[in-house]
């Protein structure tokens, strides 16, 4: 019954739903292994992370899909967070927060960008990696780098500034 309570508590935490909740909690789905994060999709599905390293789908009709939409690599310890890109309707990006590492070096973290193809979450790309197990990756230019919190934030700020600049109407006389 503890898993059901956790899933119900996660659903209660949905931003659009928290203001006027009344009534008793209800079980949404069973058969999940330590559900952690719940994200409501625009089409009525729910994406649910399971700490052992799976993203499950609860269909709009309430049935739990048998096969996970995404399963982690062997080094995954926990799937902890999930978010839709602000422009999800166009790019279908879903971000997954993963904690991983061996017992001797736990607490390494990364954010993976996935693409929702309508059935599964595919094409994983690590967009942030940090913690004690961070390893270098080779970029297209041949240099080795791992995005850090500060470099990722700087890149996001530059992209946001550029976006705002191009959206600002120019004044012409």
Is 115 within 8 Å of 125 (Cβ atoms)? no
Domain total of the chain: 1
Residue 120 included in any domain: yes
In this model, does residue 55 exceed pLDDT 50?
Answer: yes
CATH assignment at residue 44? 2.120.10.30
Compute the distance between CA of residue 72 and CA of residue 69 in angstroms, rounded to an integer.
Answer: 10
Residue 81 included in any domain: yes
Per the structure block, which two tokens stand in for 119?
Answer: 């059935």
pLDDT of 153-170, one tens digit each?
A: 444 444 444 444 444 444
pLDDT (0 to 100) of residue 104: 61
Confidence of residue 147 (pLDDT cuts 50, 70, 90): very low
pLDDT (0 to 100) of residue 166: 42
Tell me the DSSP string of 82-116: EEE-TTHHHH-EEEEEEEE--TTS--EEEEEEEEE
Put simply, whether the predicted model's pTM sits higher than 0.85 gets the answer no
Percentage of residues in the chain with pLDDT exceeding 90?
A: 39
Residue 154 included in any domain: no
């Amino acid at each position: 019954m503890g898993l059901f309570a956790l899933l119900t508590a996660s659903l209660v935490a949905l931003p659009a739903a928290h203001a006027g909740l009344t009534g008793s909690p209800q079980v949404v789905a069973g058969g999940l292994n330590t559900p952690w994060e719940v994200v409501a999709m625009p089409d009525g599905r729910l994406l649910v992370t399971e700490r052992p390293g799976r993203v499950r789908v609860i269909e709009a009709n309430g049935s739990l899909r048998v096969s996970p939409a995404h399963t982690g690599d062997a080094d995954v310890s926990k799937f902890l967070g999930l978010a839709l890109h602000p422009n999800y309707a166009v790019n279908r990006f879903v971000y997954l927060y993963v904690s991983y590492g061996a017992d001797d070096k736990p607490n390494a973290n990364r954010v993976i960008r996935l693409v929702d193809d309508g059935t599964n979450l595919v094409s994983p790309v690590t967009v942030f990696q940090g913690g004690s197990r961070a390893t270098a990756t080779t970029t297209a230019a041949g240099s080795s780098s791992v995005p850090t919190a500060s470099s990722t934030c700087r890149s996001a700020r530059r992209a946001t500034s550029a976006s705002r600049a191009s959206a600002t109407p120019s004044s012409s006389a």
